[in-house]
Amino acid sequence: DAGVIQSPRHEVTEMGQEVTLRCKPISGHNSLFWYRQTMMRGLELLIYFNNNVPIDDSGMPEDRFSAKMPNASFSTLKIQPSEPRDSAVYFCASKLAGGPYEQYFGPGTRLTVT
Amino acid sequence: AQSVTQPDIHITVSEGASLELRCNYSYGATPYLFWYVQSPGQGLQLLLKYFSGDTLVQGIKGFEAEFKRSQSSFNLRKPSVHWSDAAEYFCAVGPGGDSSYKLIFGSGTRLLVRP
């Protein structure tokens, strides 16, 4: 299996621009997670999907952030408008639903907002 | 509230020396416990996990961890460190039961390996 795929790997954008991060989970996994990692706050869970439905978005920092999962093999995290404080590494992870299965992480997208 | 503490921000060991990374958790019931490793510029890779049964669990790359309920600890060990083990290590705890989705991560321990 190719593992969790994320694109782009690096994104540099100017403040105020829209940013879209993409994720393809492992085939057969029906739980998907978006995390943000920064030096100051560590690894934070932003949102969690189960069977394409958002279950818990309590970690989404504000309305500028939105996430979708239109089908089992694709998810997006959008930031609009972006701000410098959004600069971080964003990870997508997937797992089999229903049990204590481990999460498999993608390589991450490093976002820099200038 | 659930929490995970990794008290060591950095640890430096010599190549070939033994290693122990500490992890303490706070959780009301028996949690599910994980250790992940993150190499620079990479995502997190699972080293090992504990759900139940034998409290000493073996993982990949020669790592092991021991669950000690009385101490609320899940320390990671390796008898002989290799230079390629230099990375950041994260302990994580998840609730048992069907809603075991939400992992709480520790702040990480960065391992440096002296040649």
Q: For B55-100, how does the pLDDT look when each residue is reduced to its tens digit (9 = 90+)?
A: 999 999 999 999 999 999 999 999 999 999 999 999 999 876 555 5
Q: Is the peptide bond before A84 cis (omega within 30 degrees of 0)?
A: no
Which residues 18-37 of chain B have a CB within 8 Å of chain A?
32, 34, 36
pLDDT recorded at residue B2: 80
Q: What distance lies between CA A38 and its chain's CA centroid? A: 14
Residue of A nearest to B32 (CA): A100
Cβ of A105 within 8 Å of Cβ of B51? The answer is: no
Cβ of A98 within 8 Å of Cβ of B98? The answer is: yes
Q: In Å, what is the CA distance from B48 to each residue of A9, A110, B65?
A: 26, 26, 8
Q: For B1-54, how does the pLDDT look when each residue is reduced to its tens digit (9 = 90+)?
A: 788 999 999 999 999 999 999 999 988 777 889 999 999 888 999 999 998 888
Residue of A nearest to B47 (CA): A102
d(C-alpha B22, C-alpha B86), whole Å: 16
Cβ of A106 within 8 Å of Cβ of B43? The answer is: yes
Residue of A nearest to B88 (CA): A42
Instruction: For chains A and B, count residue pairs whose Cβ atoms are closer than 8 Å.
Output: 49
Residues 6+ apart with CB under 8 A from A109: A6, A7, A8, A9, A10, A11, A21, A89, A90, A91
Is residue B101 less than 8 Å (CB to CB) from chain A? yes
Q: For B93-103, how does the pLDDT look when each residue is reduced to its tens digit (9 = 90+)?
A: 987 655 557 78
Is residue A4 less than 8 Å (CB to CB) from chain B? yes
Structure tokens at B62: 């020669």
Question: Do residues A79 and A88 make contact, with C-beta atoms less than 8 angstroms apart?
Answer: no
Residues of chain A scoring pLDDT < 70: 1, 99
pLDDT recorded at residue B100: 54
pLDDT recorded at residue B97: 58
pLDDT recorded at residue A102: 86
Question: How many beta carbons lie within 10 A of that of residue A95, not counting itself?
Answer: 23
* Maximum Cα–Cα distance across chain A: 41
pLDDT recorded at residue B96: 61
